[in-house]
Structure 1
Amino acid sequence: MADEAGQGITERGLVAVIWTLAGVSTVLLGGRLLIRNLVLKTFHLDDIFGALAWLLMIICMICSTLEAPLSYQYSAILIGETPMPPEAELESMTIKLRRWGVASQMLFWTSLYCVKFSFMFLYRTASGARSEYGKAWLGGMVYITLCYGICLIGVFGQCGDARYLWTFAQCSTPYVMGLDAKLIWVDYAFNVTSDLVVVILPMPVIWRLHMRLKQKLALSGICSLAIITIAFETVRTVKLYQENNNLTNLYSYLELLVSVLTSMLPSYRFLISPSDKDREYRRLFWTRITLRSYHSASSGYSMQNYDQTSRPAESQRAIHKGLETSQDVPPLPTGRNPV
């Protein structure tokens, strides 16, 4: 179709896809924050980074939507659908697109790495104070942060020198084109290895936990969600390296959108988990949603009493004071995520 401008998808179709997925991510974020507020009565760093990743993703999608008309116009010129404009006009379009591109790439990488930090802080909260894991976690955080810095260097170094970003002649030389092709694979290598750190790091801890094999596999599956983004990153990088516009932009947006979306999913695990702790979380969540009194599996436990005795020490003091509760009710943890 003529209005695809060689990108393999129409401008309306592209906008519809990215905002549909952005809407799904928004709903999942709202549910995540509601769950944490009702069940844990607090938020952790993984929630903060998850919300920040969503916010930056939304801003990136706004920039992409505003950029789309110019991007399709430029692509139509490159493939010959639209007559070549005067040289000065083409140079102006190129610089304007690069300005949009630098802004979008900054938002893209920052949002993507906020997703990784969200997973890392989730692991930290779930693992507790394990000294042997703490060193590995710190090393992983340092490596992921370095990878983020390298990706940002690639954004500002795509013309060889940041001073030439807004200069058409200096950014169109054969040297710069060759450098750009190399930077694409450098970014890919560091981005994928940082994803693998997010996937592999919690595995030793998970498989040493005293739980059923089915639960270990479920937790490992949650930690392996980053593999999905590796697939999109691979396709996107190959398309960029080939300098083929066909669906290139769509793959780039999908990588970010799917990454943010999957970062919300661990918060919903307790809704389907068969463990006793997660069943208690489910009962508490639904009773607070319906504004009814919470009853544990063993005896009555009102929401009012739960709010007053959410910590084990406070629960023990409340028991000695004679509050209406049963001595065999296990206190629900408040310092951990329901994962």
Structure 2
Amino acid sequence: MVLNYTEIMVLVWVLWGTCLVMTVFRGSLQWYTQHRLHADDHFVFLGLISLTGLSVVITRLLPQFYLSGDYVKAAVKDPLTPLPLPPDEMAERTRTSLKLMFCQMLLFWTTLWSAKFSILFFFRRLVNGLPKYIRAWWASFVVVTLLYLACMLSNFLTCAPLKKYWSATGCSDPEDLRRSDASIKFATSADVVADLIIMILPLNLLRKLQISRRQKFGLGLLFSLGSIIVAFAFARLAQVTKATSNITKDPTTVANGPILLSMWSHIESAVSIIVATLPVFRYLLNKNIRGSNTPGRYGTPGYSSGQYGSGQKRSRAKNILTVTGRSQDTAFRLQNLRDVEDTESQTELKETDGITKRVDVHVEEMLRTPATRPKGLA
């Protein structure tokens, strides 16, 4: 279904406004909770800037494609239908619109991959300090980057030679349309593969977390957000290839191709930015799970999967000190305790320095107080 120009403009700018609100709210929430912005936040901002450019370009180029589409529909019924504009002006406006269409695809892939990199760098913060997962993250980062470059390159290879892309007739030959169809399918495949890589990456970590089923379910949803983008990628592919698959059967369908491409490219781009803003709202989810998020005497609590009371910490510290034996000194035992904390940090959603500090305080108090000092310690 092809919307009219007014309907598409409403859709485009409502989606842009939604992305703007979500991005501003994300940045404000990050600054309020952490007093800083991370790489994943900056990628969302980059995506919003790119989406803004995409919205402007689509607003600028669509009038000409609607004009051309109406002329093609009329010419199919009556081949003697005159051009709606003087030939020279019509050709110049068509060339300008095709140049904007070329820029539109570059902005589209940049917006889409900005959202992917945002989610990828968000996960990078979760696995910080875990060498195995860091290596897997770097491998994923390299593959996702190469897929982005491949999509950008495919835009330059759709039309040969490139200057033909913005000629008066554009890439309208059957061979050009076949190449365009292959390019769209390849780029969509790269888009889906990148999303799957980003989703699969944290699944092994999620399986090993010692947290409640409710929290695992919440994190599973968080790590599966890319499936929303995948769904819209397939919807975009199904709509756009209608114009490139039926090469000579329906000129009207071919004429609607640029309109469908612009509309669905913007929809998928906007959805990707909205999805990329969602992980930051884990703060609200964790606040509801824990019941509160008030800073304590040992520092500001982070986004951990749970909190232990001081009595539980003291009991855990005492057990670890007992297991280590008499021959080890206090410093080594404290280091063992920190190693346990580092292992449990796999369940965290960010670094929580306050917990380590609190454990150290309890252990040091136990060692100084004769009543609580473990047997065997001098």
Aligned pair count reads: 288
Question: 2:292 maps to what in 1?
Answer: 279
- Cα–Cα, structure 1 residues 208 and 313, in superposed 2: closer, same or farther, change >3 Å? closer
Query: By how many angstroms is 1:222 displaced?
Result: 1.3
SS at match of 1:80: helix
For 1:24 and 1:170, the matched residues in 2 are separated by 34
Structure 2: 5+ residue runs without aligned partners?
Answer: 76-80, 244-252, 296-306, 311-351, 362-378
* C-alpha distance after superposition, 1:59-86 (max 9, x if no partner): 1111111222222212212222884456
SS at match of 2:218: helix
Question: 2:346 maps to what in 1?
Answer: none
Say if 1:156 and 1:165, in contact at 8 Å, map to a contact too. no
Match of 1:69 among 63, 74, 77: 63
SS at match of 2:37: coil
Structure 1: 5+ residue runs without aligned partners?
Answer: 1-6, 285-295, 300-309, 320-339
Question: 2:2 maps to what in 1?
Answer: 8
Specify the code of the residue in structure 1 equivalent to 2:277.
Answer: M
Query: By how many angstroms is 1:161 displaced?
Result: 3.3
Alignment of 1:1-339 (within 5 A): 8-80=2-74, 83-84=82-83, 88-168=88-168, 171-243=171-243, 244=253, 245=256, 248=260, 249-273=262-286, 274-276=288-290, 279-280=292-293, 283=294, 312=354
SS at match of 2:121: helix
Say if 2:95 and 2:167, in contact at 8 Å, map to a contact too. yes
Give TM-score scaled by structure 1 length: 0.77
Query: By how many angstroms is 1:163 displaced?
Result: 4.1
For 1:159 and 1:52, the matched residues in 2 are separated by 28
Question: 2:332 maps to what in 1?
Answer: none
- Cα–Cα, structure 1 residues 161 and 142, in superposed 2: closer, same or farther, change >3 Å? farther
Query: What is the RMSD of the two structures over their aligned residues, measured on CA atoms?
Result: 2.8
SS at match of 2:292: helix
Specify the code of the residue in structure 1 equivalent to 2:229.
Answer: T
Query: By how many angstroms is 1:122 displaced?
Result: 0.2
* C-alpha distance after superposition, 1:307-332 (max 9, x if no partner): xxx9549978xx9xxxxxxxxxxxxx
- Cα–Cα, structure 1 residues 83 and 315, in superposed 2: closer, same or farther, change >3 Å? farther
Query: By how many angstroms is 1:102 displaced?
Result: 1.0
Say if 1:74 and 1:93, in contact at 8 Å, map to a contact too. no
Give TM-score scaled by structure 2 length: 0.69
For 1:218 and 1:58, the matched residues in 2 are separated by 31
